[in-house]
Structure 1
Amino acid sequence: METINQQVIWANTFACVAKEGSFTRAAEILGCSKSYASRQVSQLENLLEVDLFYRTTRKLNLTEAGRVYLAHCQSWQQQVFAAQQAVVDLRTEVAGLLRITVPTSFGGVFMAQFLLDLQQRYPRLEVELDVSREPRDLEHDGYDLAVRSGYLGHERLVSKPLAVAELCLVASAERIAASSPLSSPADLQGWACLANYHFKDPCHWAFSRGKELHAVDIKADLRVCDYGLLRNLALAGAGAACLPHYLIAADLASRQLQLLLPDFSLPAQSLYLVYPQRLPQPAKQRALIDFFCAWFAQPERGALLGGGELKLL
């Protein structure tokens, strides 16, 4: 039995001869000799045990078996072209399924409007959004993009700077009234504080003022690993908390939460887009990355992240 590759070559030669009606013209198109093209068609006829052409010195016509075989060859060529085009479309057309994973608090604040705007811009996209505190394995779990806090050095992942999110030290008016005055971070040792144990050393808070660094080890009887719950506890007067500005912007505007130690700054959170390295990069992934960056470059998103203007990395 001849190999499949040989049969495909023979079939391709046969289809070209049938289209051109001549071994000579087919050989010129295929870049081979007339005798080589004729031999390939003869080998195909031997394999099929039928004549595919009526051969005369002046004319070349298909037999009934040749017409049937040619119809299948054309169908096969169309399927191959369709398969090639489908792969090209993956690289050039903004369509199909995208899977995104983002942190819980970030997703709750930003992603509803983001998804609506993305859908309006690219109506042929489908999106599955995972909102989780735990980082997903992008390659193993099949995600196209993640938003992560902090740079992740990984040889198979690309990290693209997105923005900087300011952190704020806040408490409710009731907690402020019931606590000792604050003039420096060291005074927090006499306060009830709320810690986020999602981070390393959650009870060690570092501040800066100009070139001065101020660190304090706070006492936190309540330690949780979710920004949303920390916000709710701070609103209820449970203590002082370090929270991202985007999560509490409305609370600050309504005075339900108030800034503490406004002359001191907390380390900001650098946000990155992280995605698997794929070459060539699918059009849908490239469009999503560009849309993310443009969307967060808008002034209203910058004000929500803190500082009035977006701080791009």
Structure 2
Amino acid sequence: MDRLLTLEVFRRVVECNGFSAAARDLGVSNAAVSKAVKDLEARLGVQLIVRTTRSLNLTDAGAAYYQQACAVLDALAEADEQVRAEATSPRGRLKVSAPMSMGLTTLSDALPDFCRQYPDILLDLHMSDEVLDLVNGGFDLAIRGGLLQDSSLKARKLLDLDRIVCAAPSYLEARGHPASPQDLSAHDALVFAGSDAPETWPLFSADGMQAVSVKPRLRINNSIALKAAAMQGLGLALLPNVYVREEIASGALVDAVPGWRGEAQALYAVYPEQREVSRKVRVFLDFLVEHFRTLQA
């Protein structure tokens, strides 16, 4: 007999206080119930039930095993119920890690739509520029840019990030427009302190690549704060296009070196492999892919 079915038989014998009553409850023969318990005791090498003509009592080992068997069967029943519930409507807590700037801009604008679409999912967003341990931190998913170092995680590409050298019109009017990337070295630079080499800007065009050394006027480890400083006319900033699309379109910021872009970087959704089976993770992945697709349109 299947081990889980054997556990269920044992449980019913205890709770029905008899082999015959358990057999009637399960819809099987008395002999089948008796054999299941006998086989279980033989496999464990210990007596679980003391049976007389008038009573049924658990041994100490039987009482302990009964509690453990109930815990296993109840956990399995709960897991089955959760899967059945998710089949109709994904639900539960979804813990997500995202970079601070991304969380404050493109994600914060989009997430209310996700919450309205899936009201039974509790979205728990943690915004941090630190690379967190997803498994030990209990995260279902993280949004990360750059090269992926952890091969134990699965990844789904969301976006190719371009970087644009931006400046406010007032700054360019006062300091002049750079004619080439090398001219940037004579300008005030607003640099991202979280970069491996914040004072070197590799720029690319159809003609090749130039690595430009810039003179920092301000160092900040947050792209949104850099954008704010650039809009105040403090200097030039190399910023991801998704953070400055609206400002470039409105003219609040200007592409200071047209035709040249910073090193491209991909943005990914990463998640532990075991989370892939969760429907709440799958629907959130699909939502992210569609959201970032519209940003590239």
| 2:208 aligned with 1:212 | yes
Hey, what's the Cα distance between the residues in 2 that align with 1:44 and 1:240? 78
Partner of residue 179, structure 2? 183
Contact 2:203 2:262 in 1 (8 A): yes
Q: Where does residue 61 of structure 2 map in the other structure?
A: none
The residue type equivalent to 1:139 in the other structure is: V
Post-superposition offset of 1:29: 5.7
Deviation of 1:248 (Å): 1.7
1:117 corresponds to 2:113: yes
TM-score (norm 1): 0.73
Name the counterpart of 2:50: 46
Change (3 A) 1:103 1:45: closer
Q: What does 1:1-313 correspond to in 2, within 5 Å? A: 10-12=10-12, 17-18=20-21, 20-21=23-24, 25-26=28-29, 32=35, 46=50, 51=54, 83-91=75-83, 93=86, 94-278=90-274, 281-297=277-293, 299=294, 301-302=295-296, 309=297
Identical amino acids, percent of aligned pairs: 25
Deviations 1:245-294 (A, max 9, x none): 22222222221211111122222221011112217732222222222223
Supply the distance in 1 between the matched residues of 2:178 and 2:136 (Cα, whole angstroms).
48
Q: CA deviation at 1:230?
A: 0.7
How far off is 1:148 after superposition?
A: 0.5
Larger strand fraction of residues: 2
The separation in 1 between residues aligned to 2:49 and 2:178, in whole angstroms, is 95
**Count of equivalent residues:** 269
Structure 1: segments with no counterpart, 5+ residues: 1-5, 54-64, 66-75, 303-308
Question: Separation in 2 of the partners of 1:9 and 1:19?
Answer: 7
CA contact 2:9–2:33 (8 Å) conserved in 1? no
How big is the alpha-carbon RMSD for the aligned residues of Structure 1 and Structure 2? Answer: 3.5
Unaligned runs of 5+ in 2: 1-5, 58-67
Sort the Cα spacing of 1:88 and 1:155 in 2 relative to 1 into closer, same or farther, 3 A. farther
Question: Amino acid of the residue matched to residue 145 of structure 2?
Answer: S
* Post-superposition offset of 1:77: 9.7
In 2, Cα distance between equivalents of 1:228 and 1:109: 8
Q: Give the drift of 1:45.
A: 6.8
Which is greater in Rg? 1
